[in-house]
Amino acid sequence: GAGVSQTPSNKVTEKGKYVELRCDPISGHTALYWYRQSLGQGPEFLIYFQGTGAADDSGLPNDRFFAVRPEGSVSTLKIQRTERGDSAVYLCASSPDLAGGPQGEQFFGPGTRLTVL
Amino acid sequence: DQQVKQNSPSLSVQEGRISILNCDYTNSMFDYFLWYKKYPAEGPTFLISISSIKDKNEDGRFTVFLNKSAKHLSLHIVPSQPGDSAVYFCAASAGSNDYKLSFGAGTTVTVRA
């Protein structure tokens, strides 16, 4: 079956612009996670959803970052007034239910590479 | 601050030999540990995991060892194959109600023919 998909695969924008990154989870997966991977680092947690609600947004770096999942499936990560430091690969993952430990694994998409000039 | 550390950014090993990847953590609340493998332009894929109540978990060519007192875990791949060439991430989670993974910076493994 289809895995997690993310669009666009690459996004180049100018400092100060607004961007939206989309994630389509595996069909039927109720939990969805966003991570950010900067160059030379491992993925860093941003937010996760159980259904439509954000269960934990403690990883969002500041109020320029916001994510939604209005129908409990597709999610959009929104970044306002982008800064050069926002340049990274943004990874989305999903799981049948909340997972990340003995509850099961998170399935990752290929990521969106965001470059802020 | 980095709560999960992989101090070796790269590892080169000959095909057929053992690959040993190391990972250290600082958060004593972590009780579940995972290894993910990542190829270029793809997302990380789950490889193997271990609960803090165990000290070893084996799955085919892959074995993870956990030393809780030292806050250290390692991944052994034996025998190493060319298809194992990838970036390996160590990750950890804390508690049955914590679903966010904390990742190390990764180790790039190159298996030489």
Contacts of residue B52, defined as CB under 8 A and 6 or more positions apart, other chains included, come to B30, B31, B32, B33, B66, B68
DSSP of B4-31, one letter per residue?
EE---SEEEEETTS-EEEEEEE--TT--
Cβ–Cβ below 8 Å for A42 and B106: yes
**B97/B75: higher pLDDT:** B75
pLDDT at A100 (0 to 100):
60
- Please report residues of B whose CB lies closer than 8 A to that of A31: 99
The burial class, CB within 10 Å (0-12 / 13-18 / 19+), for B45 is middle
A105·B34 Cβ contact <8 A: yes
Q: Are A42 and B41 within 8 A, CB to CB?
A: no
Is there a contact between B100 and A59 if contact means CB atoms under 8 Å apart? yes
Summarised one tens digit per residue, pLDDT across range A23-80 is 999 998 989 999 999 999 999 999 999 888 888 999 999 999 999 999 989 999 999 9
Question: Which residues in chain A have Cβ-Cβ distances shorter than 8 Å to B4?
Answer: 42
Q: Which tokens go with B99?
A: 């679903």
pLDDT higher than threshold 70 for residue A1? no
Tokens read off for B93: 């989670």
Neighboring chain B residues of A4 at a CB cutoff of 8 Å:
43
Which has more confidence, A40 or B98? A40
| Residue B101 amino acid letter | L
Mean pLDDT over the full length of chain B: 94
pLDDT tens digits for range B1-34: 789 999 999 999 999 999 999 999 999 999 899 9
The residue of A50, A106, A107 whose CB has the most chain B CBs within 10 angstroms, and thus the best one to mutate to test that interface, is A106
Closest chain B CA to residue A50? B99
The CB-side HSE value for B27 (13 A sphere, CA atoms) comes to 19
Q: Going by C-beta distance under 8 Å and a sequence separation of 6 or more, which residues neighbour residue B57?
A: B48, B49, B50, B63, B64
- Short-list A33, A71, A29, A32, CA closest to A52: A71
Task: State how far residue A117 is from chain B, nearest Cα, in angstroms.
Answer: 21
- Secondary structure (3-state) at B36: strand
* Residue A2 reports pLDDT greater than 90: no
